[in-house]
Chains A and B, each alone.
Chain A
Amino acid sequence: EPEVTQTPSHQVTQMGQEVILRCVPISNHLYFYWYRQILGQKVEFLVSFYNNEISEKSEIFDDQFSVERPDGSNFTLKIRSTKLEDSAMYFCASRYEVDNEQFFGPGTRLTVL
């Protein structure tokens, strides 16, 4: 069964460093998402992406964040200058059509020291 994959599973970085989190959505899916979950808290929407552009973003997704689909298969989330409060689990998700469920990847745990 096709699945969303994410790399790395765990990333440790120093405050102020740039990180890129990678996702490979399910191949025929058209809509892509990033969510984050701070430890012990709820899952929060960051951004949605469709047709090679951002379709919606939350107030969390500020200028430090960017997304890209560089090659038609990968979907990346970049954090330009990480802060301690960016430490969280980051989930990528994809879906095919408007009313279909989102399939989530296993997540990348980001630890900012």
Chain B
Amino acid sequence: AQKVTQAQTEISVVEKEDVTLDCVYETRDTTYYLFWYKQPPSGELVFLIRRNSFDEQNEISGRYSWNFQKSTSSFNFTITASQVVDSAVYFCALGYGNNRLAFGKGNQVVVIP
């Protein structure tokens, strides 16, 4: 079965601190996709990144970075120098089959000014 685990429910950080969100996935598929979405208080789902199972290259986009390690089935997300606007729920998701997404439970990030 496909499963995504985000163990940390709520994380509070003081502005400018770094925060890392852990994501561990389970799948028997050899081809799959991993995603991170941001859900701000307004409720929409904002796409952040997609990775396919053959691409273990880490990525940096501004203050965001992602660390994909197939050996440990993890796809972790770091926000560097957090800002109040980063306060949101962040979902890790696994894409499989017809690219249906299995979401984790999400990490509520609260950035304290």
Contact = CB atoms under 8 A, between A and B. Distances in A.
A106 B43 contact: yes
A107 B44 contact: yes
Interface in B56-109: 91, 93, 95, 97-106
Contact of A95 (B45, B97, B99): B99
Interface string A60-98: 000000000000000000000000000001010001001
A79 to B, nearest CB: 20
Interface residues of B, number: 22
B27 interface: no
Contacts, number: 58
Contacts of B35: 101
Interface in A33-74: 33, 35, 41-45, 48, 50, 55-56, 58
A105 B43 CA distance: 10
26 contacts: A31-B98, A31-B99, A42-B91, A43-B45, A43-B91, A43-B101, A43-B103, A45-B101, A48-B99, A48-B100, A50-B98, A56-B98, A56-B100, A98-B99, A99-B33, A99-B52, A101-B50, A102-B101, A104-B37, A104-B44, A104-B47, A105-B44, A106-B44, A107-B43, A107-B44, A107-B45
